[in-house]
Amino acid sequence: MRPTAIARRSAAFAAGITPMPIPRLYSQAGVASAAWRQAAIRGFGTTRTRPSAAIEGLGHDNDIPTARVQPEAGPDVKVLVIGAGNINFGSDEGPWNHSQRIEQKLGNRLKVVGLVDPAASRAQAVLDAKKLTFAASAYADTPIYRTVQEAISKLSGSPPDLVLLGSPPAFRGTTDPSKGLNTEIQLSEGFPKAALFVEKPVSTGSVGEASKVAQFLEGKPNLVSVGYMLRYSAAVQKMKQILKENNLEVMMTSARYVMAYEHSAKVAWWTKSIDCGPIVEQATHFCDLSRYFAGEVDLGTVMAHSVEWYEKPGQLTKIPFDEKNLVPEDDRIPRFTSATWKYKSGAIGHLEHGVALQGTEFSTEITVFADGYQLKLIDPYNRPTLHVRRPGSDVEEVHNFNDDDPFLSEMSTFIDTAAKGTSDIPVLSSFADAVRTYELTWAIRLASEKTRSPQSTK
């Protein structure tokens, strides 16, 4: 399940809180699409059932809050973009593309007042590409800045309304000014009225340093939202609704994320000292969802085991670069990690992460258990499908969310909250909350390193 389909479509919703899926908000030509569906689909998608039994309807189909994603009339919105990489401008590897979402949300109101990236040639390339799209006017006068400090200096007279902080986490998430990487602090002090959208993970440094940044931001007026977009998924919100409406206590969460690795050619991702390894960098989304459903983790209970690169089951045959010569042995990532823990509520949690599949499609799912209930979300990135088993029946309800775009819902919530002080759904991930997810991912990584088998010297 490679998460690419969202990148080819976006979701918009009718006024009010009843979802109305549409194929696109904009056509390929960049003008408003006429492909609106003529009728809202009841609830949250089509319900399918096992052939052996039939269930009519969705069971609990009350409305859940959703973000308003259509462009609205209003003044220009000035946006500073930090980072000319994939998370802000997209790639073939997945659905992430923050610039596309702000273009969809703001339409002609968007004015990108700066792009910060030390690689000026890459920054210029993405701006040139944008000038060939329907959003060209937003980038017509966009300057390139090599550092955040340069941008702050140049824009002090007309500061941005929004800042998208999508630079690699190694270049932010600290309070130490010595190397100029205290990016959040620089932005908050330089643009005290700007809203800050920070990509995950919040750092590659210590949890303690990230916590200091969170404490600093808590005392500042800036709105801060961190990019854990799966919290905004309509399927995830449906799961939360079921738990709340039935007054359920979560008993267990079980998450699995297995990537297709043969096209993952970024050497830094395979190097623990740079991107911190797949649990911290990639499985972070499922660690975050686990916390979102079941609450805080008792970090002292985290246990984990891993399959390492030097073990026979960890021999991968299709790594798309020369790992032997490009990544030192002690810096290579684990191939599979399995972790368990106790939540402070008394519930238990489980995570599996693997670098194992070939081809292009990832395999991802998360299941939440409560008394009488099993809520299993399959393929949350691409074709989200929620299987619900309830008391009184062994037959699962199946809810589809094929037109949902949590990236767009997340960005829409951020923009509306920054502009109006409120949104149809609140910002769901603060910096402080994201630090707790970061702390869990590091606890899992460290626990797995304590139990790994020693490398043979033969």
Domain-located, residue 180: yes
**Residues 59/397, Cβ–Cβ less than 8 Å:** yes
Q: What is the C-alpha separation between 237 and 66, in angstroms, rounded?
A: 9
Which residue range forms the structural domain that includes residue 330? 250-370+430-451
Domain-located, residue 130: yes
For residues 191 and 273, membership in a common domain is answered with: no
Q: What is the C-alpha separation between 367 and 373, in angstroms, rounded?
A: 10
In this prediction, residues 251-275 reach a mean pLDDT of 96
Domain-located, residue 197: yes
For residues 185 and 266, membership in a common domain is answered with: no
Give pLDDT, residue 458.
Answer: 58
For residues 215 and 177, membership in a common domain is answered with: yes
* Rounded percentage of the chain residues whose pLDDT exceeds 90: 79
At 145, phi and psi to the nearest 5?
-120, 140
Domain with residue 284: its CATH number is: 3.30.360.10
Number of domains in the chain: 2
Domain-located, residue 220: yes
Q: What is the C-alpha separation between 287 and 279, in angstroms, rounded?
A: 9
For residues 128 and 264, membership in a common domain is answered with: no
Give pLDDT, residue 47.
Answer: 40
For residues 214 and 254, membership in a common domain is answered with: no
For residues 215 and 272, membership in a common domain is answered with: no
What three-state secondary structure class fits 34?
Answer: coil
For residues 254 and 365, membership in a common domain is answered with: yes
For residues 211 and 269, membership in a common domain is answered with: no
For residue 203, pLDDT beyond 50: yes
For residue 22, pLDDT beyond 80: no
Domain-located, residue 414: no
Q: pLDDT for 361-407, tens place per residue?
A: 999 999 999 999 999 999 999 899 999 999 999 999 999 998 899 99
Q: Higher model confidence: residue 223 or residue 361?
A: 223
For residue 92, pLDDT beyond 90: no
For residue 98, pLDDT beyond 50: yes
Give pLDDT, residue 293.
Answer: 99
Domain-located, residue 398: no
For residues 85 and 151, membership in a common domain is answered with: yes
For residues 352 and 263, membership in a common domain is answered with: yes
For residues 166 and 89, membership in a common domain is answered with: yes
Q: pLDDT for 286-345, tens place per residue?
A: 999 999 999 999 999 999 999 999 999 999 999 999 999 999 999 999 999 999 999 999
Give pLDDT, residue 124.
Answer: 98
Give pLDDT, residue 403.
Answer: 85
82 pairs with which residues across the strands? Answer: 116, 165
Domain-located, residue 388: no
Give pLDDT, residue 457.
Answer: 66
pLDDT range class, residue 16, cuts 50, 70, 90: very low
For residues 216 and 257, membership in a common domain is answered with: no
Q: What is the C-alpha separation between 297 and 292, in angstroms, rounded?
A: 11
Domain-located, residue 303: yes
What three-state secondary structure class fits 82?
Answer: strand
Q: What is the pTM of this model?
A: 0.85
Domain with residue 161: its CATH number is: 3.40.50.720
Give pLDDT, residue 72.
Answer: 78
CA 319-357-168 angle, to 5 degrees, is 60
pLDDT range class, residue 78, cuts 50, 70, 90: very high
pLDDT range class, residue 32, cuts 50, 70, 90: very low
What tokens does 455 get?
Answer: 């490398």
